[in-house]
Amino acid sequence: MNNEDILLMMPGPVPVTPRILRAMSKPMINHRGAEFSEIYDDCREILADIFKTDNDIFVISGSGSAAMEAAVGCTIKSDDKVVAIENGKFGERFKLLANIYGDVVPLEFEWGDSIYLDMVEEKLAEGAKAVTLVHNETSTGILNPAEEIGKLARKYDALFIMDGVTSIGGDDVRVDEWGVDIAVVGSQKCIGAPPGLSMISVSERAFEAMEDIEKIPYYLDLKAYRKSANKEKTQTPYTPAIPLFYALQESLHIVMEEGMEARINRHKTGAEAVRAAVNTMGIQMFPNLDSCSGYSNTVSAMRAPAGVSGDDIKKDMLKRGIVIAGGQGRLSGKIFRIGSMGNITSRDILVTIQELETVLHKRGVVSNIGPGIEAANNVLDALL
């Protein structure tokens, strides 16, 4: 099947609109010149609105994991304790990154279960320089209580480092109000640009914490990013991926044209449509609402039905031209996931549900084709 006919319905990368693709085809420019400086300034200004922050914002030529490493690598030294909260694959990644640079205090929950705030407070009360959290854990489809973690971090004078890779730009995120010292987002998620860039906001408290760090990652040195951003012609410390900056700027303009309130509502409604459809088909959500603080508004995770693996469903959907995601790590084969982020439209969701219902019908999981698509359509009507 031609790649142009493939529909990406995974939790990133997301489909990229022709307008954004055209922006990437512009000629190369001097990355130390005025034209790039204007692009970078424009991106940073819009990102500040999306992050809801007055903190410094930088763009790194590297995926969200690069920004995650910058966050811990620039603020943590070997004897610093870091409370690393894990209830999914990306919480585990934050834990592993923090363990490279500091003394990790792991706080592990079942993947997909809620975070218990009393346990977080207990660990912070013992003393820690920082706490890490994945706001929107796409591996399990759970939304974690960032605002509450921010309050606890402030109470115990710990840095709050938050992965907003799959929530910023698609869900309600309030970096300053929640007391987030460092927040990161990936270009290929809710913002709707191609993969390869990450954006990071850094508070003054975080910069102060960097003063006594002896070994900072060279390419991911946030103090170097700040120094370059404060030059007369704003720039990055190292050569940026210029075509991706073109794409990011265009994507951010699209975000602003849609408006954040409408964009958040579109993401939320899309996820609700997927959940309504699978519930009608008798497919269980993962996690159970009773054991989680809330479902993600940008991706839906479902338990594979009896007798069918999540990987089977993923393969069947690919044969029909739609890419969804399976489970990661310990959840491999046990779940499947459908994204509703970035540039994904109501039509994309309806096509996906139609094909999913067909796949499940062929496998004997559902007896009728139609109820799922009708349930999704009823929810999506709110966007018309």
Strands 325-326 and 335-339: antiparallel
Angle at 62 between CA 58 and CA 66, to 5 degrees: 80
Q: What does the pLDDT look like over 325-345, one tens digit per residue?
A: 999 988 999 999 999 999 999
| Residue ranges covered by each domain of the chain | 3-12+259-383, 18-256
Task: Give the pLDDT confidence score for residue 112 in this predicted structure.
Answer: 87
Closest CA relative to residue 52, chosen from 195, 197, 264, 207: 264
Residue 235 CB neighbour total at 10 angstroms: 21
Measured in degrees and rounded to the nearest 5, phi and psi for residue 326 equal -95, -165
> What are the helix (H) ranges across 102-241?
117-125, 146-155, 204-209, 222-229
Do residues 94 and 132 lie in contact, with contact meaning Cβ atoms separated by under 8 Å?
yes
Q: Is the peptide bond before 13 cis (omega within 30 degrees of 0)?
A: yes
Residue 77 CB partners (closer than 8 Å, separation 6+): 101, 102, 212, 213, 214, 215
Task: Give the pLDDT confidence score for residue 384 in this predicted structure.
Answer: 72
- Compute the radius of gyration of the chain from its Cα atoms: 21
Do residues 148 and 293 lie in contact, with contact meaning Cβ atoms separated by under 8 Å?
no
Do residues 382 and 269 lie in contact, with contact meaning Cβ atoms separated by under 8 Å?
yes
Q: What is the dihedral of CA 2, 8, 12, 17, to 10 degrees?
A: 80
Could you tell me the pTM of the whole model? 0.94
Residues in the chain, pLDDT under 70:
1-2, 289-293
Which amino acid type is present at position 331?
A: L
- Distances from the Cα of 307 to the Cαs of 176, 322, 364, in angstroms? 47, 22, 10
> What are the helix (H) ranges across 132-221?
146-155, 204-209
Closest CA relative to residue 338, chosen from 320, 351, 352, 350: 352
Task: Give the pLDDT confidence score for residue 383 in this predicted structure.
Answer: 79
CATH of domain 3-12+259-383: 3.90.1150.10
CATH of domain 18-256: 3.40.640.10
Task: Give the pLDDT confidence score for residue 355 in this predicted structure.
Answer: 97
Measured on CA atoms in the order 341, 343, 346, 348, is the torsion positive or negative? negative
216-225: buried (b, 16+ CB within 10 Å) or exposed (e) per residue? bbeebbbebb
